[in-house]
Chains A and B, each alone.
Chain A
Amino acid sequence: MRFGVIQFPGSCDERDALHAVSKVGDGVLLWHRDRDLQGVDAIIVPGGFSYGDYLRAGALARFSPIMAEVERFAAHGGLVLGICNGFQVLCEAGLLPGALLPNTSLRFECRQVELEVVGRTKWTAACEPGDRLSIPAKHQTGRFWAPDPVLDELEANGQVAVRYVAGHAFNGAAREIAGVSNHAGNVVGLMPHPEHAVDPLTGSADGLKLFESAALVAA
């Protein structure tokens, strides 16, 4: 199992993502100006502040050359996970529904959150709906939003990947949604950071479940 982690100017969680995937397979860093995905089995668009969050978070990274390859990879069923800024990039690129808006608090917040696995996506294949995951979140622009008919559709299709458990939806996200998938379930984005929760030393290893899920699906 080989994961590719994309590095944009302003990414800052690509090293943690590489460390996380090393627990279930191999990881390779992919530079945003490259067009070669180096034959990876899954792609991670990591957290950070690509292009300084200029204009809107994630708006400029989608024009990096590698994103055209990511779109092609995703269209063929390839596994793509966007974490935090990566989630914003995938929404801006149209690979995921919805948008991420500033937290209602207008603050950058960093906290451990409890998530509930909802839908059956490729990146949660090793979990059962209802499973709880304790994972840190750290962002200022993480309030998931989509029009009500789209939210209804996401719920009906099982595209809500993870939800904040009651009392943990600190950013004001619509219907407490922390992460969603595309219709096929191979592209997932979430605001909390599973790659920061892969060792009990830092409080939780629950984040590993997502990378194990990808390995399970790719096997």
Chain B
Amino acid sequence: MRARVLIRPKAGILDPQGQAVERALPALGFGGVRNVHIGRLVELDVEDPSQLPAMCEQLLANPLVEDYEIVG
């Protein structure tokens, strides 16, 4: 099965990448953009998708500072 895992910084943790992009967009003429947050996408083929949460907890995400979402 092809799986996709979205990993993003936890709410409330300063995300300087998101802030930098948020500041850059108006410079290109795109107004009205707020709350930009940048995470990453992991795509993987897995034989046993029930293992995905454990993979996220132990390696793909750092649960202390990141949330993950398995999006199928």
Contacts and interface: CB of A to CB of B under 8 A. Distances in A.
- Chain B interface size, as a band, is 10 to 19
Contact of B64 (A99, A103, A104, A105): A99
A92 B62 contact: yes
B65 interface: yes
B62 A59 contact: yes
Contacts of B13: 101, 145
A147 B59 CA distance: 20
Interface residues of A, number: 17
Interface in B1-42: 13-14, 16-17, 20
Nearest to B20: A106
Contact of B16 (A56, A99, A102, A146): A102
A172 interface: yes
Contacts of A55: 59-60
B7 to A, nearest CB: 9
A102 B62 CA distance: 14
Interface in B29-70: 59-60, 62, 64-65
A146 B64 contact: yes
B14 A98 contact: no
Q: Which 5 A-B pairs have the closest CB atoms?
A: A99-B65, A104-B16, A99-B64, A106-B16, A99-B62
Interface string A47-81: 00000000110010000000000000000000000
Contact of B17 (A106, A145, A146): A106
13 contacts: A55-B59, A56-B62, A59-B59, A59-B62, A99-B62, A101-B14, A101-B65, A102-B17, A106-B17, A106-B20, A143-B14, A145-B13, A172-B16
Contact of A105 (B16, B59, B60, B62): B16
B64 A98 contact: yes
Given A59-B62, A172-B16, 5 more contacts: A92-B62, A102-B17, A104-B14, A104-B16, A143-B14
